[in-house]
Structure 1
Amino acid sequence: MIAERKDDHVRLAVEQQQGTSGRNQFDEVTFVHHALAGIDRSEVSLRTRFAGLEWPVPLYINAMTGGSEKTGVINRDLAIAARETGVPIATGSMSAYFKDPSSAGTFSVMRRENPDGFIMANINATATVERARRAIGLLEADALQIHLNTVQETVMPEGDRSFGSWAPRIEEIAAAVDVPVIVKEVGFGLSRETVALLEKLGVQIADVGGRGGTNFARIENGRRDLADYAYLDDWGQSTPACLLDAQDAGIPLLASGGVRHPLDVARSLALGARAAGASGGFLKTLLDGGVDALVDRITTWLDQLTALMTALGARTPADLAQCAVLIRGDLRTFCTDRGIDTGRTATRTGSPGATPDTTGSTR
């Protein structure tokens, strides 16, 4: 039953990619263009540092799948693409492994194919410390993701209905494991209050996992006989909304959920994320065109991100957080309602590459 569910998730996620309108709240974030901000491409580095980690690029393949024969093949191919491009990668939820140890190979294949890469194990918030350590050990993981998915569990016919133990479990795991702990939402977003709580629980990094990408409420509703939870399709906050909401967080933020192209990566970094993750679009590319197609797509993303940073005058991913961006539409309304000053992002000194005029000349 678990393997069948994992295969269903992949099928329904790909169907969502085919049926999407292509627009989300990232489109309400616009860079202020400065025509003389550009720098030499040779000055740009994609290396990003946060929470004691150093990644070669500010892009990662986020959690997707594992637990069945078909998803094991997907994880193998994703790991090969990560190895060839240097991007970090996360497994899908390893709950299937805990329930059926024979599925271990569908996850450990990532380390076998990507022996030197940065790999994140992924567990749910009901896991024990012992299971967290097993997941890390199986993958020789460099970090541990703990995913939060109350809405998905609520819609899932066989889902959990008890969430009160999640925060204490997260705190126990964060204190007990010897790799960084990343807590991520699966597509409904982290509020600033939640991020603040995660910091108190000892979590080192928060992945906001906002609305705009794969919608697991829709996926689980598609598995229900009556599909009677359709009213939850728009639940949660978008990724840009979450980043703006938690821009003063005391722990580093990662951005995932609705990241469609290199401009969305740049927007995420400008809104304070240290790196951006993609999953659904990468999955569709892999299933449509194979490993080579996914490697080509990731390589193109990294090349184009470098080009955008060159034009914006950002020598590092962190420099993008100095660039001025305008917030429009419903995203601006969200900011107003949450007391977020969008003027701070619109009036940044920005353009790190630009040399300010100190002569007083108005020419």
Structure 2
Amino acid sequence: MRKTLSLLFIVTILFCSACKDKIKPGNVQPERKEVSGVLITTVASSAVDVFYETSGTVEAKNISTISSRLMGTVMKIIVKEGDKVNRGDILLIIDDSDVAQKMTAAEAGYKEAQKAFEISKKNRSLADITYRRYAKLREEQVISQQEFDQIETQKKIADIEYERSQQAVERAKAMQEETRVYHGFTRIKAPYTGLITAKKIDEGTMAVPGMPLLVMEDTSQYKIRISVDERLYKNISIGMPVSVLVLSTNDMKQGRITRITPAVDPTTRTFNVEVLVKGIPLRSGLYAKVFIPEGKKKTILVPNKAIVQKGQLRGVYSVNDKGVISYSLIKTGKFYGERTEVLSGLKDDDRIIVEGVEKAVDGGITKQ
């Protein structure tokens, strides 16, 4: 029993000694990790453009369905889907045997007409000389009026034959040119520089006038059809510049409005607008966002590299007046190139780390 009481007395003395040396609350300073190699900047609101955002599908400005203008067997297809072609390049060849025969006949007819014209020309010249001689003889009363009338009639007939043969040459030449044109139809050529997007026929198939053979599109210009809210009807105009973001390439380019539909859809309260984009390696069918400028507003923008993603959360490393670093959650808005709009979580004169964020530690302190 005495041993138990002695042990209890010793424990009580030790406990009291420990309580005597206890540190009062608020006197302990946490040990913070020192952070260096970071760049701190002060946040300030700035004026930015406000955009109305809509979307649409990219289409080539010119899409052509290439067809045959005559009937014939497709002998050779030179291009395939995806090929880039230049204006005037031969795309496919149609059997030209029938047209070639007609062209040969037309050339022979033209040569024959030329020979007939030369003969009529000489006859006319001879008739004219004879007429002048007989006219002189008639003045001298050497020949009778009947003889002179016969010579005069022969001259008129020679003049008529000359005109007929001249017209025959023109008709033969036109026929020859026509057959040459038809022969050109057997060589299907690209109407402009572009891209072959579809092949509708195979070699050995009979092509007929109006039958689709190939589909190609002009790759120099693309258009995007978009729907715009009716409140912007008075704010946009033809030629107005807009920004276009193609999501598949994440590339922002400039376009311009080329057409505005004069009527508003009463169901959707929107109207259609066509945007033309040049000089971008696009493809028909791509999804794109279009940003139409509305005005300006003041907002806080931070560099994209200053934003730190932690799971589903977004935040920045802020620094207080004592140099203590803390991870501050923010709500982001639109992107402006290399900067992002902050809707909440920051205010003017806040200080954040914009470079060296990978070195920052929540709860750390910046090296002075």
| TM-score, structure 2 as length reference | 0.16
Structure having the higher Rg? 2
- Structure in which a larger fraction of residues adopt strand: 2
Flag the structure with more relative contact order, 1 or 2, with Cα contacts below 8 A and sequence separation at least 6. Answer: 2
- Structure in which a larger fraction of residues adopt helix: 1
| TM-score, structure 1 as length reference | 0.17
